Amino acid sequence: MAADHLRETAISSRLIFDEGFLRLRKDLVRLPDGSQASREVVEHPGAAAVAALTDDGRVVMVRQYRYAPDAVFLEIPAGKLEKGEAALHCAQRELVEETGWRATQWAWLAPVHPAIGFSNERIDVFIARGLEEVGACPDAEEFVEVEIVAVADLIEAIRLGQITDPKTVLGVFAVERMQRGEWAWPQFEQINSA
């Protein structure tokens, strides 16, 4: 969005950490009024997620432990982009790896910016259907449980504060609006190999 009068510009940047998938830098910035401030930035490679729908309109969910918040979350499948990987490919890969389901119809829904206060992470959320079971092939480090859940139950879990992660909140609300005819379904692309 064009709002250049609100913009902050970098004066200098210090790299603090660059291991695993995260980079942390601390920048000195110039504010719109000319004064200076520091900004911590967690650089993230980006991620993709998918609300994959069964023929009867339920959603393929994964339940998994998340170390940073120290809690178990019920989420739509998602994962980080590998180097050079397109978001659609990542979402397709994660769906199969985490759930053992493959989808033949895919559409992009919207981006999510989870932590705009300190990170550039962007999650591209997709909607998929035309599911075929192929068998899960999780990464060595992934421990997830797959659940197929009705959209009404997911909406209720959001109301109760039991689903709290942004890609899932957006995906569930969007799918419900499409199922109720309040939002048009996106144009699905037929994809025959994951």
Closer CB to a copy of itself, residue 117 or residue 135? 117
Among 11, 13, 15, 22, binds a copy of itself (CB under 8 A): 22
48 within 8 A of 94, measured Cβ to Cβ: yes
As given in the structure block, the two tokens for residue 9 are 């510009």
Examine residue 181 and tell whether it contacts a copy of itself (CB under 8 A): no
Within residues 51-110, the interface with a copy of itself by CB under 8 A covers: 63-75, 80, 110
Residue 171 DSSP class: H
* Interface size with a copy of itself, residues (CB under 8 A): 75
Report, in Å, the least distance between residue 176 CB and a copy of itself. Answer: 9
Beta-carbon contacts of residue 107 (< 8 Å; ≥ 6 apart): 126, 127, 128, 185, 186, 187, 188, 189
Among 15, 32, 137, 185, binds a copy of itself (CB under 8 A): 32
CB atoms within 10 A of CB 25: 16
Give the range of 38-46, 85-93, 96-104, 128-136 binding a copy of itself by CB under 8 A: 38-46
Q: Which residue has the tokens 């609006």?
A: 177
Closer CB to a copy of itself, residue 105 or residue 119? 119
121 within 8 A of 79, measured Cβ to Cβ: no
Cα Rg, the chain, nearest whole Å? 19
As given in the structure block, the two tokens for residue 175 are 């799918």
44 within 8 A of 21, measured Cβ to Cβ: yes
Among 42, 107, 149, 194, binds a copy of itself (CB under 8 A): 42
Closer CB to a copy of itself, residue 106 or residue 131? 106
Among 11, 12, 28, 38, binds a copy of itself (CB under 8 A): 38
Report, in Å, the least distance between residue 42 CB and a copy of itself. Answer: 6
Dihedral sign for Cα 144, 147, 151, 156, please. negative
Closer CB to a copy of itself, residue 118 or residue 134? 118
Contact flags string 132-171 toward a copy of itself, x per CB under 8 A: --------xx-xxx------------xxxxx-xxx--xx-
